[in-house]
Every structure is written in C-alpha cells, then in structure tokens.
C-alpha cells in the first residue's frame, strides 16, 4: 500500500507470548525535519508533502480505517534505493535535491524519491459498519479498495455526538485535530483530510509550534 510501512512478519513469541511484527526500516519524522529546516519550507516542498500525505491517506482509507492522529510525529520518511542500489535516508528537503540536480544533471537518476509514510495507528478506527456478507465472501472482497466495493455490501458508520463533556471523549491531538474532535462528533475520513490541511497551513505560515504536543485540555 502506498505511503504505509511494509510489514514483513508478525506472530507471537512462544516463550513469553508477546506479540511482535517486523516492518521496514524508516528514517526521520517530519518533526525532526521541521526542526532541521528551522520551520522554513518552500511552497514546492509543502505541495509535494501534501500530495504524498493524501496518497497515504487514500491507501489507509481504502483499508476501511480512519487514522485520527495526523501530526508531524506520525509522518516518517523511509529509505529509498538509488540506481547504484545503495539505500539512502530520505530527508524531506526538496531544495537540496534541486541543488544537486543543478550541479550534475547526469546523476539525477541516482536521486532517491522522498516519500512520506503514515505510522502509529493506535487511535485508528473503522468507518464501516459490519457487512452482511458471509465469511467466505468477506475474504474475497475485504482486500478490495472501497471504490471497488458495492455500497450495498457496507455502510458508513452514523454520525453520533458524545452526550457528556467532549473533553472526556477527545480523540486525536490538540494541534491538528478537526473541530469534530473537540465537539464530540464521530470522526471519519474527512477529519483526516482536515488535519492534513491544518498541518500544511501551519507549515506554510511558519506557525507550527512543537510545544503544542505538551498542552492539555482544561
């Protein structure tokens, strides 16, 4: 799936029954890149990142889930294989790539593709109601993206509002969560997209504050 880490193996340790999984090695987070660039990004960088995040969300949403926690700490850049077959850390810095292309255009094929991945699915939940399909039919169709499923086979979860204090039901992060997260409404795919837009807007204006993650709801 595009924009999601590859899981190579999963299982249970027979000695202590701990669950484990083995995934591809990834590089630095967007938080690290933001600090590295001193909160300064070009429009080109932000557009590239935005397109990659939307593509990653499309892959995740096609699995039937909403992420609910889009933030720089949960966006990580992987390792790309260059034409010389050497792994190179992917650090999101379009400026450096353009500078290298200008120095020697013949080496442009050796430049890695800078790709963002979504991680940390601890707050994710399904936006689909259980299907009426049989177990065998479900196995046949569950791997298909939402766009290829018949609407009669699944329904979107209804929008419900938390009756108590919304603070007690808050899900997400303070910096980039949508309004629905603060008002106690059910989160769906639109809220992931809203979080991405908030993130990109913050990077565009240079208003991103790393200390927001330490704030708490009163």
Query: Averaged over 146-156, what is the pLDDT?
Result: 58
pLDDT band per the 50, 70, 90 thresholds, residue 191: very high
Please state, for a pLDDT cut of 90, what percent of the chain lies above it: 23
- Cβ atoms of residues 194 and 168 within 8 Å: no
Give domain status of residue 34, yes or no: yes
For residue range 18-46, list pLDDT tens digits in order.
Answer: 988 898 888 888 988 888 877 778 888 88
Give domain status of residue 76, yes or no: yes
Mean pLDDT of the residues in the chain = 75
Q: What total of structural domains would you count in the chain?
A: 1
Give domain status of residue 2, yes or no: no
C-alpha to C-alpha distance for 10 and 55, rounded to whole angstroms? 25
What is the sign of the dihedral through the CA atoms of 82, 76, 27 and 206? positive
Closest to 41 measured CA to CA, from 76, 13, 50:
50
Give domain status of residue 1, yes or no: no
Give domain status of residue 175, yes or no: yes
Q: Which residue has the tokens 């353009």?
A: 98
Residue 200's domain comprises 7-214
Q: Which DSSP category does 185 fall into?
A: B
C-alpha to C-alpha distance for 149 and 144, rounded to whole angstroms? 7
Whether the predicted pLDDT of 174 surpasses 70: yes
Helices of type H across 37-122 = 43-62, 94-103
C-alpha to C-alpha distance for 140 and 148, rounded to whole angstroms? 12
pLDDT at 102: 40
Cα 188 to its chain centre, rounded Å, is 14
Whether the predicted pLDDT of 197 surpasses 90: yes
pTM of the model: 0.71
- Cβ atoms of residues 50 and 200 within 8 Å: yes
Give domain status of residue 85, yes or no: yes
Max mean pLDDT range (25-39, 161-175, 183-197): 183-197
CATH number at residue 140: 1.10.510
């Amino acid at each position: 799936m595009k924009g999601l880490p590859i899981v190579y193996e999963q299982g249970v340790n027979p000695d202590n029954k701990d669950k484990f999984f083995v995934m591809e090695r990834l590089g630095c987070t967007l938080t690290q890149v933001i600090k590295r660039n001193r909160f300064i990004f070009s429009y080109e960088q932000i557009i590239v990142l935005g397109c990659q995040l939307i593509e990653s969300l499309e892959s995740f949403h096609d699995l039937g889930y909403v992420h609910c926690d889009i933030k720089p700490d949960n966006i990580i850049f992987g390792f790309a294989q260059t034409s010389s077959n050497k792994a190179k850390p992917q650090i999101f810095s379009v400026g450096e790539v353009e500078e290298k292309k200008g120095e020697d255009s013949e080496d442009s094929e050796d430049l890695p593709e800078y790709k963002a991945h979504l991680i940390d699915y601890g707050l994710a939940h399904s936006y689909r109601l259980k299907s009426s399909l049989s177990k065998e039919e479900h196995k046949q169709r569950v791997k298909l993206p939402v766009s290829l499923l018949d609407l009669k086979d699944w329904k979107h979860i209804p929008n419900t509002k938390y009756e108590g204090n919304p603070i007690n039901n808050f899900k997400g992060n303070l910096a980039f969560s949508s309004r629905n997260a603060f008002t106690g409404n059910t989160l769906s795919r639109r809220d992931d997209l809203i979080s991405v837009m908030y993130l990109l807007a913050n990077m565009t204006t240079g208003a991103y504050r790393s200390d927001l993650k330490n704030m708490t709801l009163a």
